[in-house]
Structure 1
Amino acid sequence: MKSIRTIKDQLDRIIHLKETPQRIISLVPSQTELLCDLGLEDFLVGVTKFCVHPHHIRKDVAVIGGTKQIHLDKIKALQPDIILCNKEENTKAIVESCESICNVHVSDIFTINDSLELISQYGDIFNKAKEALIIVNSIQRELKDFKTFIKNKPVLKTVYFIWKDPWMAAANNTFINYLLELNKFENTFKNESRYPVVELGKSTVNEDVDTVLLSSEPYPFKEKHIKDIQEFYPNATILLADGEMFSWYGSRLIKAFKYFKNLRLSL
């Protein structure tokens, strides 16, 4: 008789595994990319419509909805062994609904260490410990090099917008804020929580902001939006930012630090 493995997810929820999961559903785009980089693409049976890396994944694997709205009937029909969620990306109701089908693992990411822990957990769950260690080591190597690069760079007072109409910014208690701090971008909204709405008007003209970053996701900011915000931050350099680099916390981090270097050099 095979022994049952007991594993905790990042919310300290207990998962009991009789064997290594063979049919995986991912409800988180960055985790989908991570699974593929761990060599698990052939085991994916369901992904979201926002899972865009690798670019072909939505053609090869069933799409079961988005990150906030899922088609539970499609998920049931796919007979998954495990469903992978994230506390921020997916709702509590989604997690509870999925638990009625099979094991559910929930990630909870605020720091690089949280990301590395998740990668190691996936290595354990899916019997990919060697592959996970390679990714973890790569991220740590890139991070060490970036810290050397950024060490003597000046701190820039920064706003990071994620949405328009209403305008919303990334604030404290987010992975984005953690990466902003790592980049020595002092978040103007560091004393607020999560994603506050920013009321733009004459009273909000902020002359001491150095940099405004307009994220490519979830709102797809374009060059034309730079003019919309310039009058409120007259002395700031306004740039489009790759949202995946600032918010995807899986294997994407291997590429992120080179991107951050180039971003900083552009300033």
Structure 2
Amino acid sequence: MTSAPMGQLIDAAGREHRPAEGPVRIVSLVPSLTELLCDLGLTGQLVGRTGFCVHPREALRAVPKVGGTKDVKLDAVRALAPTHLIVNIDENRRETVEELAASVPVVVVTHPCAPQDNLALCELFGGLFRCSGEALRLQAALRGALDEARALRAELPAEDVLYLIWREPWMTVARDTYISACLAEVGWRTVPASAAARYPEVDWRAAEIRGAAGVLLSSEPYRFTARHLPEVEALGGRPAQLIDGEMCSWYGSRAVAGLRYLAALRRRLAVRGLNSPEV
């Protein structure tokens, strides 16, 4: 996402929006952005969410669920009579969004591809939902986290790492994903360097994989645990480390904590080695 011209509110589909007027009823089909809406002070305007929208947990208990990110219950959304629908290009099905667009007045399409894209996202939501003060505070925190990550990147030499998201088949992330962009902010380059798919299968025999400094095992979407570490180390011939997947893949307001988590993890592993038992 890129910043819109001053005063314009343009989403990832290129659609221009106007600041909301009157009562606002939001249905969010994106877990990361549900969290962002709450952090912007909009919990009271949130009338629907997916079952994967779990943060902040207590604040969302009373907000009705409308299915998953891919299997949205269309009638449940319509019954909530939302004024605004929040969707994401990667996380929601296009046909679902198109069907709901016929009955929801405002559909906001998002597609952050790197941590800095969250600055424009905050600007869009802040202007659209008239909460610019909260958005500016989040932007300032994000700029600080980006500065900290880049300082670390300048301090430590870059390292190649394999980031696992699935087992049987073993799968990783391409460099054009948000996850890879987050890791790059602290100097971790994901392998392979190029791939035809965004989430390619792992060839454990490939020179890039064997030459990586280590393997990072994510907690989502597959929930890797400590019992998987010996198996992965045997396959890859490299040390393996568990990593919090939410801190790498959730955008919106989570990017602030995510970048600081990654910077702290990289600094610790630079001292203790990639196979440190701590996460």
Normalising by structure 2, we get a TM-score of 0.87
Contact 1:172 1:190 in 2 (8 A): yes
CA apart distance, 1:69: 0.6
Q: Establish whether residue 197 from structure 1 lines up as the match of residue 180 from structure 2.
A: no
Q: One-letter code of the match for 1:75? A: V
Counterpart position of 1:91: 93
In the alignment, is the contact (CA less than 8 A) between 1:84 and 1:104 conserved in 2?
Answer: yes
SS in 2 for 1:46: strand
Partner SS state of residue 86, structure 2: strand
Deviation of 1:90 (Å): 0.6
Whether 1:216 aligns to 2:219 is yes
Contact 2:49 2:66 in 1 (8 A): yes
Q: Is 2:66–2:72's contact at 8 Å kept on the other side of the alignment?
A: yes
Kindly state the Cα deviation for residue 225 of structure 1 after the two structures are TM-superposed: 1.4
Post-superposition offset of 1:16: 5.7
Q: Distance in 1 between matches of 2:203 and 2:38?
A: 40
Q: Are the structure 2 counterparts of residues 73 and 184 from structure 1 closer, same or farther at C-alpha, using a change threshold of 3 Å?
A: same
Whole-angstrom CA distance in 2 between matches of 1:119 and 1:18? 15
- Same amino acid, percent of matched pairs: 37
What does residue 110 of structure 1 align with? 113
Once the two structures are superposed, the pairs formed by residues 1-267 of structure 1 within 5 Å of their partners are 7-15=9-17, 19=21, 22-102=24-104, 103-192=106-195, 193-200=197-204, 203-204=205-206, 206-234=209-237, 236-267=238-269
CA RMSD of aligned residues (A): 1.9
- 1:10-43 alpha-carbon deviations (Å, 9 max, x no partner): 1202446662561001111110110000000011
Gaps of 5+ in 1: none
Contact 1:160–1:169, Cα closer than 8 Å, also in 2? yes
Distance 1:258 1:8, change over 3 A: closer
Instruction: Write out per-residue CA displacement over residues 233-252 of structure 1, whole angstroms, 9 at most, x where no aligned residue.
Output: 21x22111111111111111
Task: Give the letter aligned to residue 57 of structure 2.
Answer: H
SS at match of 2:70: coil
- TM-superposed deviation, 1:161: 1.0
Q: How many residues align?
A: 260
Which of the pair is proportionally richer in strand?
1
Q: Which moved more, 1:94-103 or 1:115-124?
A: 94-103
Q: CA offsets per residue over residues 78-125 of structure 1, 9 Å max, x none?
A: 010000000001111121122012121110111223211011100011
1:6: how far off? 7.7
SS of the aligned residue for 2:107 comes to: strand
User: CA 1:94–1:190 in structure 2 vs 1: closer, same or farther (change >3 Å)?
Assistant: farther
Alpha-carbon separation, structure 1, partners of 2:245 and 2:20: 38
- Contact kept? 2:20, 2:130, Cα under 8 Å: no
Structure 2 alignment gaps of length 5 or more:
1-6, 270-279
- Provide Cα deviations, 1:130-167, integer angstroms capped at 9, x if missing partner: 11011001110121122113312021110111111211
Report if aligned partners of 2:218, 2:243 keep a CA contact under 8 Å in 1: yes
User: SS of 2:165's equivalent?
Assistant: strand
Q: How far has the Cα of 1:58 moved from its partner?
A: 4.2
Residues 7 and 20 of structure 1, relative CA distance in 2, 3 Å threshold: farther
Give, in whole Å, the separation in 2 of the partners of 1:175 and 1:196. 15
Please give the alpha-carbon distance, in whole angstroms, between the structure 2 residues aligned to 1:23 and 1:55: 20
Q: Output one character per residue of 1:164-192: Cα deviation in whole Å (capped at 9) or x when no partner.
A: 12111011221111112112112112211
Change (3 A) 1:133 1:160: same
Task: Check conservation: 1:10, 1:118, Cα contact below 8 A.
Answer: no
Matches of 2:22 and 2:175, distance apart in 1:
37
State the TM-score, normalized to the length of structure 1: 0.91
Q: What amino acid is aligned across from residue 108 of structure 2 in structure 1?
A: H
